[in-house]
Structure 1
Amino acid sequence: MPPSNSSTISPAQVPVKQTNLFINNKFVPSSTGSTFDTFNPATEEKIASVAQATSADVDVAVAAARAAFEGPWRTMDATQRGRLLYILADLIEKNADELAQLEALDAGKPSFLTKVLDVQACVNVLRYYAGWADKIHGSTISVPGPYLCYTKQEPVGVCGQIIPWNFPLIMLSWKLGPALTTGNTVVLKPAEQTSLTALRVAELIVEAGFPEGVVNIVTGGGGVGAHLAQHPNVDKIAFTGSTATGLKIMRTSHVDNLKRISLELGGKSANIILDDADMDLAIRQSQMGLFLNAGQVCISGSRVYVQEGVYDEFVRRSAEAAQAMKIGDPFDLTTQHGPQIDGTQFKKVMGYIEAGQKDGARLVCGGKQWGSKGYFIEPTVFADVTEDMSIAREEIFGPVMSIIKFKSIDEVIKRANNSEFGLGAGVVTSSVDNALKISNGVRAGTVYVNCYSVIEPNTPFGGFKNSGLGREQGELGLRSYLENKTVIIKRPDDSMPAYLVLFFMSPRKAAAESRRAQVAEAAVLALAGGWITRLVQQEEEEQQLENAASMEAEQKLLQATTMSHVLLILHILGFSAVFWSLSKAQILSKALRTCSRLERDAGLVVGCLLPPLVLLSRLVVGIYQDGEFSNFTFFYAWTSISIGVSVVFKVAVVGSVTSFSVNVLVDAVLLPIAFALLSPVEAEWRFVLATGGRCIVASVLATGFKFLPRSFTVGEALLVAQGVGLCAFDVVLSTLSRLSEYDLIDLPPSMLHPWLLFSVDREDYILALQVGMLGSLLVA
């Protein structure tokens, strides 16, 4: 069929505005002034001479992209980046006719197709990614301790992008869209055969208002792409093209740095026609799947597996449909089938057609050059093809359909997977079960059911096996242009009460952190449990003492007193268990995080001031003797203050509460001396010794808490160790004292009195102990 003369425009009428390199928002010639010629594949006529970039030109472009990345682009408000992409999409849409004609001229594609498919798809992709600009978020991560942890997504950096000649505008948008919306800068290299539309879009990039250096375009042959892929200042390479070239990029791009790589490579997709398929649909689907863009589509369904029941009919009707396709001038609006991109590709495809015939495949139609000019090849259909033939194994990238017969679904899944590629697959069937079985069984990046070549901006695209790495389009298309950053911030120690922080820390971690006054707060909690219990029990014990008139009563008194101490220990253990449960449920921490800092600080102040007020009222009512406070009361309070000061001193000055030597030095030596020198009343030696004894017990237990099971937190360990230990010290001594007083054991009182700060009738020292500890907390 001769070419049609119904063209709407001639190739000579298509304007070619730019042919120079695009660097820093300016069009500049090659540093050497060299050029290469680009040709119209439909007429083999020269279109223009385009600047041939050199390695030096690539270096300049990469430097411009780096400067833009380190400049305002990366930190620009995301909505502004998105707005610029929207403007660029609008400008491309506004110039759709011009770009469609330029694409048809440069690539030989039917002009009606370049406008409704190529230009519109480019616009849609850019708009899709423009909408993503302000929706790229990180996440918050809950971590133990006083830390805020969150992640953020940041741009990779300078991206080298190499696009093919089969869909220049679409591939440009697939690369620029996700790179720019995420804050990266770009050095793009279009295919040598099809550079003109990319350079025209560069003009629109300037018009849209993109800053200098954000997008740079270098034109030339494979050497330009190779230098870009190997460049040490390029952070990522995105390549679409043949598997052979992709493998070369993988081998050479990591010489000087570890670049991120995404590769969209070749395919040999299987298109499966079941015998229950609608035959009209099957013919349309297979024709679209293979002959779109003259077969120059990476995902084309060139291996057509047809079930034996409909095999003959499918072969016949496929040949009829192929022969009916209109071949000719790309500017003729009725043309359906254009030329191959250049003479090299033309010879390659013709070579495969010749090889298929030699291997024994049956040529049903096509197989010849069309016309006397241009690189046109008739749509070609082969039948009776087997998998050992080159036309069934290798990517042809041309209008050659290989029809293969099969019997069962299990068989065809296995045969379809017998390929080094895994880019796409198709199936035509009226059974949902069969469609699901095949789509689940075939190893391919995209599987089409009762359709083919449907690609939308929000649908990820990419392949298995040798068909590539990563995905383009959709949300997944953003991932390779982003780096994840994890940020961990330690909150100030007073951001929440320290004893709550301790509940969420392991002992070893707390020992390493040396959390200063937090340890003191935990000790206060432990002692507070005993205070509440003692207030309740004291009156009952005093009453029992007054009524003890016989040996039997004395024994009952001993039992009651001992039981009161046991109850005291059980109370503290229960107190610990309650806080353990609350900490594990994170009830307290969640509540505190909802409070303002002012509310938390106010709560702590009230909590520290209320107990001393209670004690003061009790001292006035119950302990006032002869118009003055008892010296014992002062000693009790002073002892407890000393213990609190000890804890504060060790964590604030020494930085450790788990060193035994530090604990003994401070508690057994320094504190008793300070106690004797600074006491507001005359210090008897037994009080000094008693202070040292209690401090040593607390120190030993504080030293040992880090050896508790890993499941214990510091808060739990201190509640048990400090609380139970200190109270047990007094329990043992007071019990021995009672036994000695009632002659139940032969133990001289002189052995016990130096360690006792109380008499049998006076046990209000515990109350003073609590106040002293709370006072030390205020000091801390």
Structure 2
Amino acid sequence: MSEITILASVQQFLQRQHGHFIDGEQKASLNTQRFELINPATEQTISSISIGDKHDVEQAVQSAHHAFKQQWANISPYEKGVLLNKLADLVEQHAEELAQLETLNSGKMINISRHLEVAQSVVFLRYFAGWATKISGKTMQPSLPSMHGEKYTAFTLRQPVGVVAGIVPWNFSLMIGIWKIASALTTGCTIVLKPSEYTPLSLLRLAEIAIEAGIPKGVINVVTGLGETGQLLIASPLVKKVSFTGSVPTGIAIGKMAMDSDLTRVSLELGGKNAVAILADADIDQYLPSLLQSSLVHQGQVCAAPERFFVHQSRYDEFVAKCSAAMQQFKISSPLEEDAHFGPLSNASHFQKVKHYLDLARENQQILAGGEILEQHGFYMQPTLVRSTGMNDPIFCEEIFGPILAVMPFEHEDELIEKMNQGRFGLTASVWSNDLSKIMRMIPQLEVGTVWVNMHTFLDPSVPFGGAKASGIGREFSDAFIEDYTELKSVMMCY
């Protein structure tokens, strides 16, 4: 099948001299340096962005601060929800445009961009819009002694913290950006987004669409640039909360910076080395399609996706044979082809990182299936299955964030729990079995933020998401996000 036709609106957007989006409009940077955006499927330059400097960041933060004090604060919770729903309507109307921008910029398969990235962004926007009118405090009756007949009552308020810095990764720029936008705006905050330098296009377009939806100028701002741009944003005294999604080392550095900046609030959704447990009774034929979809969606570049597979010894050979055969059926091609299954990695730097692990596996004769780099333009490699050499195997304990799945046999459940919990990460895990008793005993012992049963990687806005151990601080979605974006104020009255 041939590639889809690129929309005229997408072609026009790519040809722009992109600046930052500040106070409701595109703003050129005084910094003349630019960063080229590369299509990972072709290695061709498709556009470029400004590299934000101190002046750009100050402009964006001031705009967000003014909007927080003068505009967004004066809009009722109901109206906030209405505006978020209008934004969802417009995202649906511009769905194909946004999906094509994502695919051209990140290498995401076009059907994933359409049916996951854009479609789920709409679902999340509508979910958060519903919370706008439901943020509340509590009333309490203090037990203070009455000296002269006076009485006491108390209550709490949840008030927005102010300007939020949202730092967004390159793998799901639009959807993760919308998680941060919706969390901030629902609670009454305003936001300055700093997308990854590799994939900023969909968020720059979304900021324009937000103005069309009626969201006031300055409520959503986007500053593009490199890591230094994000550091300037975190250091601003007007930023009262930082929400970061990305790698563990960067998250730790951002957490330290936030603490040094007058204890700025911070939530960190970081990486993982997510484990899968396939128990002895598992129906491999039934589960394998879902397992591979969960593992290799967006070429495995998903923080929650599984990378470590623990398979009961009695099923190990069967799993390896069937998984290897299924991987060989993947059609690897342009992400703009609607019938392709697997595309390029998202950028050259990450491609080299994943290639390092492939080279290591090849040197140690660990490759069971795949493992080849495609000799063509673009950052393409085969999905790969490797056998683990042990718990200290770098491929088995270091986050790869790519299409390399490592497999290890186990015999007993006690040994399995210990191995699944080994390491610094604690984002997600899954158990595949119909033995409910074993599953229910395992769930509380797994040191992770999310446990899936007979599924993996899927997220829903009604279910809190976040990591344990080094995989993060705080939770997104459900009502858990409210605490991270609001300050709890206590009021006590004597009468």
Equivalent residue, structure 2, for 1:754: none
Match of residue 531 from structure 1: none
**Shift of residue 76 of structure 1?**
2.0
Task: Tell me whether 1:123 sits opposite 2:114 in the alignment.
Answer: no
Q: Which residue matches 1:390?
A: 394
Give, in whole Å, the separation in 1 of the partners of 2:279 and 2:127.
36
From 417, 422, 430, give the equivalent of 1:413: 417
Confirm or deny that 1:104 pairs with 2:103. Answer: yes
Percent identity over paired residues: 39
**1:479-498 alignment runs, 5 A limit:** 479-491=483-495
Q: Could you tell me which amino acid in structure 2 is paired with residue 250 of structure 1?
A: G
Q: 1:361 to 1:463 in 2, by over 3 A?
A: farther
> Is the deviation greater in 263-272 or in 138-147?
138-147
Distance 1:277 1:245, change over 3 A: same
Shift of residue 428, structure 1, vs aligned partner: 0.6
User: Residue in 2 aligned with 1:213?
Assistant: 218
TM alignment of 1:41-60, pairs within 5 A: 41-60=40-59
**Is 1:402 matched with 2:394?**
no
**Which has the higher Rg, Structure 1 or Structure 2?**
1
Partner of 1:377: 381
Alignment map for 1:436-515 (pairs within 5 Å): 436-491=440-495
Give 2:206's aligned amino acid.
Answer: V
Partner letter of residue 317 of structure 2? D
CA distance, structure 1, for counterparts of residue 236 and residue 167 of structure 2: 13
- Find out whether 1:15 has 2:11 as its counterpart: yes
2:304 corresponds in structure 1 to 299
DSSP-derived class of the 2:280 partner: coil
Counterpart-to-counterpart distance in 2, 1:274 and 1:75: 55
SS of residue matched to 2:11: coil
Structure with greater proportional strand content: 2
Structure 1 segments (4+ residues) deviating >6 Å: none
Q: Distance in 2 between matches of 1:252 and 1:271?
A: 34
State the 1:255 CA deviation. Answer: 2.4
* 1:64 paired residue number: 63
Alpha-carbon separation, structure 2, partners of 1:11 and 1:355: 42
Secondary structure of 2:71's counterpart equals helix
Q: Counterpart of 2:262?
A: 257
Determine the structure 2 residue equivalent to 1:677.
none
Give the distance between the partners of 1:13 and 1:147, measured in 2 at CA.
62
Aligned counterparts, 1:78-93, within 5 A = 78-93=77-92
What CA distance in whole angstroms lies between the structure 2 residues aligned with 1:11 and 1:329? 17
* Alignment RMSD (CA, Å): 1.4
Q: Distance in 1 between matches of 2:62 and 2:6?
A: 40
Aligned equivalents of 1:256, 1:7: Cα separation in 2: 48
Residue-by-residue CA offset, 1:715-774 (whole Å, 9 max, x unaligned): xxxxxxxxxxxxxxxxxxxxxxxxxxxxxxxxxxxxxxxxxxxxxxxxxxxxxxxxxxxx
Per-residue CA shift, 1:197-231, capped at 9, x if unaligned? 00110111110111121111000111111111222
**Is 1:434 paired with 2:438?**
yes
The 1:34–1:72 alpha-carbon spacing in structure 2 relative to 1, beyond 3 Å, is same
Partner deviation per Cα, 1:284-337 (whole Å, 9 max, x = no partner): 232123111101011111000000000000001111111111111111101111
Task: Give the whole-Å Cα distance in 2 for the aligned partners of 1:351 and 1:12.
Answer: 39
Aligned match for 2:208, one of 203, 213, 219? 203
Q: Can you give the 5+ residue segments of structure 1 that lack an aligned partner in the other structure?
A: 492-780
**Residue 483 of structure 1 aligns to a residue in which SS?**
strand
Residue equivalent to 1:244:
249
**Separation in 1, partners of 2:9, 2:238:** 41
User: Is residue 42–residue 329 contact of structure 1 (8 Å, CA) maintained in 2?
Assistant: yes
Q: Distance in 1 between matches of 2:422 and 2:287?
A: 23
Counterpart of 2:380 in 1: which secondary structure? coil
Offset of residue 12 of structure 1: 8.5
Counterpart residue number, 1:529: none
Structure 2 unaligned regions, length at least 5: none
**C-alpha contact 1:153 1:485 (8 A) present in aligned 2:** yes
Q: Which of 349, 360, 377 pairs up with 1:344?
A: 349
User: How many angstroms apart in 2 are the aligned matches of 1:464 and 1:187?
Assistant: 27
Provide closer, same or farther for how the CA distance between residues 52 and 369 of structure 1 changes in structure 2, counting only shifts above 3 A: same
- Equivalent residues in 2 for 1:341-740, closer than 5 Å: 341-358=346-363, 360=364, 362-491=366-495
Distance verdict in 2 for CA 1:92–1:306, change over 3 Å: same
* SS of equivalent residue, structure 2 residue 260: coil
Q: Shift of the alpha carbon at 1:31?
A: 1.9
Residue 25 in structure 1 maps to residue 29 in structure 2: no
Instruction: Name 1:615's counterpart in structure 2.
Output: none
| SS of residue paired to 2:491 | strand
Aligned-partner residue type, residue 346 of structure 2? I
> Equivalents in 2 of 1:417, 1:12: separation in Å?
50
How far has the Cα of 1:116 moved from its partner? 0.6
Q: Tell whether 2:164 aligns with 1:164.
A: no
Q: In 1, are the aligned partners of 2:9 and 2:97 still within 8 Å (CA)?
A: no
Contact kept? 1:11, 1:105, Cα under 8 Å = no
What is the CA distance between 1:271 and its match in structure 2? 0.5
Equivalent AA in structure 1 for residue 2 of structure 2: S
Larger helix proportion of the pair: 1
Q: 3-state DSSP class of the match of 2:261?
A: coil
CA shift at 1:371, angstroms? 4.1
Residue from 277, 283, 298 that aligns with 1:278? 283
Cα deviation for residue 384 of structure 1 reads: 4.3
TM-score (norm 2): 0.96
Higher-RCO chain (CA-CA 8 Å, sequence separation at least 6): 2
Alpha-carbon shift at residue 385 of structure 1 (Å): 3.6
* 1:253 Cα deviation from its structure 2 partner: 2.1
Asked whether the equivalents of residues 280 and 315 of structure 2 are also in contact (C-alpha less than 8 Å), the reply is yes
Q: Which amino acid aligns with 2:328?
A: Q
Distance in 2, Cα, partners of 1:304 & 1:265? 20
Length-normalised TM-score, structure 1? 0.61
Deviation at 1:478, TM superposition (A): 2.0
How far, CA to CA, are the matches of 1:123 and 1:211 in structure 2? Answer: 20
Contact 1:273 1:282 in 2 (8 A): no
C-alpha displacement of 1:437: 1.8
Q: How far apart are the structure 1 equivalents of 2:250 and 2:133? A: 35
2:388/2:396 contact within 8 Å kept: no
